[in-house]
Structures are given as structure tokens and as C-alpha cells.
Structure 1
């Protein structure tokens, strides 16, 4: 199989989620470090608009959103599984909650002035301003929690996670599943990226012990790849045909009255409003695939999960 190429940056929490999954599955991967804020010319050459982090590249196939990337890695290497049969439903539902409600409460707490000051302590003042403006643009359609409300929610969520971690080594049993990795990354940001804010974890020692077990998994075997070289990889590859790529379902499911072959856009429901335009070549029960072409990459297939994304005909965008 073509190399797994992860486009990420070190302090990205959703990237930490995927790095830990790669470690759990003991997969080798190529590490492409991308900017935390715009401009991201190499990323946009690959995705056509989507600019959230991380993305996973396999040749000329581009997989967007950490939830979809987890599905891809499960298909690449089924054992150890992220989705144990007896937890297949609850683990996904928990992960979706963790990637949304838990994440935004945690980040609303983490990036209060004291936390933000630590993040940008070694950066020039304009860096903090640029980051703030970038994230403001990405969250234009969102209602964000105020720091006090975020703190209250985060404390409650930590207690609930502690109740689970007190019962087992991992949240649902003796082995981790997708729920563990989804819950871990926002808490990792508190502990590792803004340790000045990490006192909130002290009231739930079982959470810290569980986090230690996740951290001990590591990130797998990886080496560095230049961003421009990753674009060249796409240029020199052919995207996998629908039904033969790293997403296991292939049957067309039409919930929009949009036939395959239509010009469409796919946009995140909330955070990250930038649309990706292309030709719809797959719409299955779990994902969309757009075919698009860029002068630098040639023809690529860009994949999105259905959940959390909006499909529209291009003329109605």
C-alpha cells in the first residue's frame, strides 16, 4: 500500500488523536508538518478548500476529518480494533460527543487569557493576533462557550470520564477503543500544551492515570516528509476508484436528490466554513467523495464523513 502521510502540526489536538491511533495500531507513517493557520497553499492544493487539521493522504486520496481517518486506519490495519463488536455503537456515539461537546468545553477553558499567554509566550505579539483572527474566521457560524461556562462544563465532563476510568484501565474495558482516543486529545492539550491550566485535572486522579496509559502507547514509527514532496506524491499517483479505496462501504445512498457526477460542495456544519468543490463520485451511508483537479496535484479524490458535513449542489452553494 502507498505510504500513510499525515499532514499535522505538533500542538494540534485532533492530530494528537490520530498520532495516538497510529501508535495503537503500530503503523508506519510519513509526517508532514503544516502551518497552524492560513495560508496553507500545499494543504489547499490537496483538499481544494478544507483546511482543518489533520488530513491523511494516501497517494492521490485525501481523507478529511479525524473521525473518517479513524475509519481508514481501521481498514488499513484491523487489529487491534478501534471498534470492538460489542461497543461499535456506543464507542462511536461517545467519540462524537468527545470530538464536539468535550472538545469545545476543554478549549474554551484551555485558551482563557492565562492559557493563551502560555501558548504564545515565546512568539511575537502579532502571532497571537494572527491565530485569534484565523480561528475567529473558522468559527464564524458557531456559538462559543464563555470561559466560565466552559470551565463548569469541563469540570463536569472530567468527573464523568473519571467514573469510567475508575472502573477499567480504559473507558470501556481493558483495551482502548475509538472513544479513548477521542476523549484524550482535548485533555492532552490541557496537560501538555497549557500546563499552567492543568490544575483542573487534579480533582480526578483516575483521569490522569488513564491519560498516562494512552500516552504510553506512543505514536508509531514515522519519519519526516516535506510538504511540497507530499504534493508531488499526489501528482504522481492515481486516486483509487470508488469502492476500491480505504473506505469499506460503496453503495450509493441518495438523501439529497443529487446524482453522482454532479458538481457539488461539501462544507463542515460548524467549525471551518470553507467549502470544497468537486464532482460527486461517491455518496455512501458513511462518506462523500469528490473528484477534483489542481494544477499541482493532478486529479485527486477528497473524502469526507457524512456526519458533521453538508452536501450541496454547486449552484446552490
Structure 2
């Protein structure tokens, strides 16, 4: 199978982008890098997604893949080995990755983005820090935010538990990394590299530092820069893959909502980043939703979301 051209829309300090950059390095894949703003507005991203604005987004031609859980599935299909989901650990590593991407991430980032961390992240520029805080506050609609002290306590416990795993093995579940490693790594990478003033917490678990060094040694794959305008041109000049014939291997319709294919629908994240994407439902499988939409700049695109963590509704009449 010919490896498709992978375009990752990301920004350098984005933790979830680092998760995917390390997965690309693990699989030694070539990819195109489109740098996007860390806060709204993101007109070039929205031209492709129709509303979704979380980072990163993976583009392959006119197919747009949202959420790192789904992006990892795509990378596994593009290049099955080395495995992100080792056959003997497939369920275990998925469950652990989901915990790390939600519970661990929430505690770590609440701890990381306390005033000392924010000041270092933005070089003491109070106005930029304020804009970032307001942007993220708007994305946390209906979310319960941990208090910093509670996040710190939880994070200390999580670090000790993670350390006990990597004291026994090079990686969380054995001699090779899997998706659980990359999901666990990225909020701790943010602490260690973006807000090192907060990284003294890692001193209690030296085994984690050694494990992080092993993941960092995997690199980021082979990257070339691409402009946002060129990426949109790629979408505009491409035809999206037919539903059931893209890089998401399951295609059987699973109707849990009473919404038939062809219906105008909206897809919205359950929690963080509640922007709505609207389009025609062309797939609803056991793992993902796909919608077709047309944009004046990007043309007709298919936008794909994981089923877990996203809300499907019929669009208002």
C-alpha cells in the first residue's frame, strides 16, 4: 500500500500534537506540518473542519480526521507496524490511553497552567496569557475544573503509579511503546519542556524521566513545512474517499440514534471545545462518524470523528 500524504495541522506547544508527532516518529512516517494558531480565530482550520477547532487535525487529501484517538487509528492503518495497538494488549492500551488523555491530562494541565507556569509559557506577557486563559475558559463550557491543589494531589499519585510501571519495563506495557505511552507522555512533556518551572514534581519519580527520554529518542518522523493555504488547496483539488473506503477500516452502519444516513446532522465534542460541525451524515459505524460538507475555500470534504466522546444530533430544521 502506498503511504498517503499526511498533513498535520498543529502548533509546537500543543500537548496532543506532541502525542501524534511522537507516534509519527515511532512509525518513521513522513508528514507535512501546517502550523496553526493556539487560540481562536482559526479560519484555515475551520475551512477544513467546519467548526471543530481542537488541535491537532490530520488531513489526507479531502479527508479530515479529528481527535487524536481517531488519528492514531488512521496511522495504524497507514502503517500497521510497529503497532500502536499490540494485538495482545489492544483493549488494555486503548482504555489506558483514554484515561491518560482525559483524567491524567486534566490534572497535569491544571497543575501546569498555574500562574508560574503561564508566566513562563508566555514569557511574562500578561496580555497574551490572559487571551489564552479566556480562550480555554470558553472551550470548557459545562466542564468541572479541578482546583490546583486537588490537581496537584492527584498528579502526585498518578506519577507514582506510572513510575511503578516503567520501573519494571522500558515502556508502560513492556519492551516496546504503544498508544498508552504516547497518551501518557504528552501532558508530562508539556510540563518538562514548555513550563519547566513546574517540573520539580517529576523529581519524586526519576523512572518517569528515563521513560520520557526513551520516548523522545523516537523523534518526530520526517517532517516538511506546508502553508495553510497550500493545505486548503490540496483539499480543494482532491476528492474525499468514498464512505467505507477511507482509512477507517469499519464501515457497517450502527444506528444508535435513529438518524439515517443522508440526514443533515451536527457533531459536537462532549466536553472540551464545544464547537459544532454540521454536514450530511455519510457514516456512523461502531467507531466513528463521518460527515460530508462543502466549504467555499476547501471544496467538498469528509470530516471524521471518533464515536466515543462526541455527540451526534439531527441538525435543526
TM-score range, shorter chain: over 0.9
Question: 1:144-155 to 2 correspondence within 5 Å?
Answer: 144-155=145-156
Q: Tell me what 1:121 maps to.
A: 123
- Structure-1 residue corresponding to 2:11: 9
Work out the number of aligned pairs and report it.
Answer: 315
Task: Spell out the pairing of 1:76-155 with structure 2 (5 A cutoff).
Answer: 76-121=78-123, 124-155=125-156
Distance apart, 1:69 and its partner CA: 0.2
Q: Report the counterpart of residue 28 of structure 2 in structure 1.
A: 26
Gapped regions of structure 2 (runs ≥ 5): none
Question: TM-score scaled by structure 1?
Answer: 0.98
State the distance in 1 between where 2:247 and 2:277 align.
20
Q: Which residue is equivalent to 1:53? A: 55
Partner SS, residue 183 of structure 1: helix
**Using the alignment, how far apart are the partners of 2:244 and 2:43 within structure 1?**
29
* Equivalent-residue separation in structure 2 for 1:261 and 1:199 (angstroms): 53
Distance in 2, matches of 1:102 and 1:39, equals 28
Task: Output the CA distance in 2 between the equivalents of 1:125 and 1:115.
Answer: 12
Tell whether the 8 Å contact from 2:7 to 2:59 is kept in structure 1 after alignment.
yes
Inter-partner Cα distance in structure 1 for 2:180 and 2:262: 35
Which residue pairs with 2:289 in the alignment? 288
Alignment of 1:239-250 (within 5 A): 239-250=240-251
Deviation (angstroms), 1:12: 0.1
- Structure 1: 4+ residue segments shifted above 3 A: none
Q: What is the CA deviation profile of residues 21-66 of structure 1, one whole-angstrom value per residue up to 9, with x for unaligned ones?
A: 0000000000000000011000000000000000000000000000
Pair 1:227-2:228 in alignment: yes
Number of the residue aligned with 1:203: 204
Distance (whole Å) between structure 2 residues aligned to residue 211 and residue 71 of structure 1: 23
Deviation for aligned residue 1:247: 0.4
- Secondary structure of 1:272's match? coil
Q: Look up the SS of the partner of 1:198 in the other structure.
A: helix
SS of the residue 2:316 aligns to: helix
Q: Deviations over 1:232-253 (max 9, x none)?
A: 0000000000111010000000
SS at match of 1:311: strand
DSSP-derived class of the 1:29 partner: strand
Unaligned runs of 5+ in 1: none
State the distance in 1 between where 2:52 and 2:313 align. 15
- Match of 2:157, SS? helix
Q: SS of the counterpart of 1:152? A: helix
Match of residue 278 from structure 2: 277
Q: Distance in 1 between matches of 2:275 and 2:222?
A: 32
Q: Distance in 2 between matches of 1:72 and 1:93?
A: 18
- Show the counterpart of 1:39: 41
**Equivalent residue number for residue 217 of structure 1:** 218
